[in-house]
Amino acid sequence: MRRAVCPGSFDPVTNGHLDIIGRTSALYDEVAVAVLINSSKDGLFSLDERVEMLRETTAEFPNVVVESFQGLLVDFCREREIAVVIKSLRSVSDFDYELQMAQMNHGQGGVETLFLATNPLYSFLSSSLVKEFAKYGGDVSALVPESVSRRLVERLAHERNEHD
């Protein structure tokens, strides 16, 4: 069984993430989508909410399973016998950090990282930009699935009310 993992913080999942997950699902027998903690980012959605959104929006891929994990990616891979991490590269600005993580994960955990070139339609897209745009009333319905766009609007309205 050829297994791969698509790791990320997915806060929330975007159409760019789904493009990579779909392409990975065509290459491997089983794909784990791992919702992990990026300690340099504050979260808008809880890990459970992110998993729920991913499960809804990846339901069309029968070989994709979604899980959250509060630990190292290399431990996630070891526990599930996953040898390959799939990451996307949007531009050279992603490269330095992604290379460091790939080298760390290979050196410390023996896990290989393979990079897929981001679909140019999504090369500007990130969860952070989507949150920023939505926060100030921007329409993100072309950038994330409809259910995610709805949840974002609800969550940001809730946050605004809490601060008023």
Nearer to ligand PNS, 128 or 150 (CB): 128
Q: Which is nearer to ligand PNS, 151 or 162 (CB)?
A: 151
How many other β-carbons are positioned within 10 Å of the β-carbon of residue 33?
27
- Tell me how crowded residue 109 is: count the other CB atoms within 10 A of its CB: 16
- Packing angle, helices 92-109 and 73-80, rounded to 10: 50
Q: Catalytic residue at 158?
A: no
Q: Spell out the residues 6+ positions from residue 121 whose beta carbon is closer than 8 angstroms to its own.
A: 19
The yes-or-no answer on residue 127 being catalytic is yes
8 A C-beta contact, residue 13 and residue 144: yes
Does the active-site annotation cover 3?
no
Choice among 25, 87, 88, 90 that is catalytic: 90
- Kindly report whether the peptide bond that precedes residue 12 is cis, defined as omega within 30 degrees of 0: yes
Instruction: Pick between residue 117 and residue 157 the one whose CB is nearest to ligand PNS.
Output: 117
Task: Please pick, among 9, 25, 127, 149, the residue that the annotation labels catalytic.
Answer: 127
Give the footprint of ligand PNS on this chain (CB under 6 A).
7-9, 36-38, 41, 72-73, 101, 104-105
Nearest Cα residue to 87 out of 20, 31, 151: 20
Choice among 9, 17, 87, 149 that is catalytic: 17
**Residues taking part in catalysis:** 17, 41, 90, 127
